[in-house]
Amino acid sequence: MKRCAEATSGLLFREPLIFERSSPGREGYSVPTPTGRKRAAAIPGDYLRDSIPGMPEVAEPEVVRHFLRLSHWNFGVDVGMYPLGSCTMKYNPKVNEAVARLGGFTGIHPYMPVAWVQGALQLIYELERYLAEISGMRAVTLQPAAGAHGEFTGMAMIRKALTERGNPRTKVLIPDTAHGTNPASCRLNDYRIVQLRSTSEGVVDPEEVARRMDDETAAIMLTNPNTLGLFETHIEEIAEIVHEQGGFVFCDGANMNALLGRAKPGAMGIDVMQFNLHKTFSTPHGGGGPGSGPVGVAEVLEPYLPTPRIQATPDGFEFDSDRPLSIGRIKSFFGNFTIMVRAYAYIREMGPEGLRQASDMAVLNANYLRKRLGDSFNVAVDVPCMHEVVLDDRVLTKAGIKTMDLAKRLIDKGFHPPTVYFPLCVSGALMIEPTETESRETLDCFVDAMHEILDEARKPETVTSAPQVTGISRVDEVRAARQPVLKWSPRGAA
């Protein structure tokens, strides 16, 4: 029998602010008051105060229950399927967490002598080489703190290389199927954006690239597979066109999850790409960080990699800062180390065959959803996809509901909604990425929920009023964005 995780309204707490639980004089701690010499040796009186104005006064059980109840409002990959397209919210194996918590990794500090951190340096050195082998790039830096930071770093290297040639150039070609951070990364490097419209097949047209490419174009920055979940079939031809006029090819590697063990960007003519370790190598995603966005480069850009570089010598590992063409340091110390440890553990545990199987399963799961949903919904470009499938809103519009209505109703069914209204080149887009970590049973439950919502649309108010079993019902998102409540004030205050 198929069993689905379903939303429920039982024991769902509408938790107030911690300030609203405050009662004057109530405490949740017990600290002995220093006396005699201990008091004299304590913090000087000028720095002491009897109370902290505005802080809530609550007992320990109230504090614990408050934050635990708030944690129940969270949804993540440890709770259920998280099918955000493009974001790649895949399950993070707990063995990675165990390795990252080993005392030899957590007990070190970047200011320690090099001789004391040889194990950490070896891990960084080997992880760079693993990623280079996987991607087909010549060298990799682990300094960037996130995917967008990696994009910025890659474009900074392109600018430095072109400046060394005598002209940094002025613009970058970016397809309409690229990730949203790509234009920002280019603008931060002082480049103007030229958008390329994708074809009806959802890929970049080499003829369009040839028309737009000139001696003021620094690079083309594309995502492969792109945000429609499709492989850029003309990538080698596009790279040749750009290279002939002295430009570089930047590949946004956020969707490398679909290529592991099957294709290497370095063999496609790519000059520079960033990885997103959370998307491809199962490290934590979001929450304010830390993240990691390593950058791989072809031989032509290797001299421009950030410093310091870690080198292996007969006496161990050491730092190399003598690189005159480097763009310099782009992150304090050497990157977000424990995130690297998690990615290293994942690669070592999976091995080449395991990584290949992960990509195979990611592609299989996405195409399974494409076929099962394609009979009732409209697939934006209905051809075999890679890691994700994108639906448009034509069927929903006919049913009298919108993409956002369906997304909100999925919450009532026990599923986090997919990405909505992206990519922008698809009307009312619903972007679904199941990743390789979801079982067929879970995917079937998701498909059933999607079909149920379409049936419920016969009475649109059932869907347009969703979510209905959550702690907070549908909010006015426009008002929340324009008039956010950012400061607490006591009840009754103006």
Helix (H) or strand (E) holding 131: helix 118-135
pLDDT at 10: 65
Selection from 160, 162, 189 nearest residue 174 by Cα: 189
pLDDT at 491: 45
Q: Is 313 helix (H, G, I), strand (E, B) or coil?
A: strand
- For 456, phi and psi rounded to 5 degrees? -65, -20
Alpha helices in 136-215 (DSSP H): 147-165, 181-188, 206-212
**Measured CA angle at 277 (ends 232, 127), to 5 deg:** 105
Task: Judge: domain 95-348, CATH 3.90.1140.10.
Answer: no
Q: Which CATH number fits domain 360-481: 3.90.1510.10, 3.90.1150.10, 3.40.50.300, 3.90.45.10?
A: 3.90.1150.10
pLDDT at 334: 85
Contacts of 264 (CB under 8 A, 6+ apart): 134, 135, 136
pLDDT in tens, 86-114: 889 999 999 999 999 999 999 999 999 99
Distance CA 258, CA 205 (A): 22
pTM score of the predicted model: 0.90
Low pLDDT (below 50) residues in the chain = 1, 491-494
> For the chain, which residues make up each domain, given as ranges?
95-348, 360-481
pLDDT at 180: 86
Residues 294, 154 contacting (CB under 8 angstroms): no
Same CATH topology for 95-348 and 360-481: the answer is no
Can you count the helices (H) and strands (E) in the chain?
Answer: 16, 12
pLDDT at 27: 86
Burial 396-428 (b: 16+ CB within 10 A, else e): beebebbbbbbbbbbbbbbbbbbbbbbbebbeb
pLDDT at 36: 62
Tokens 């049913």 found at: 399
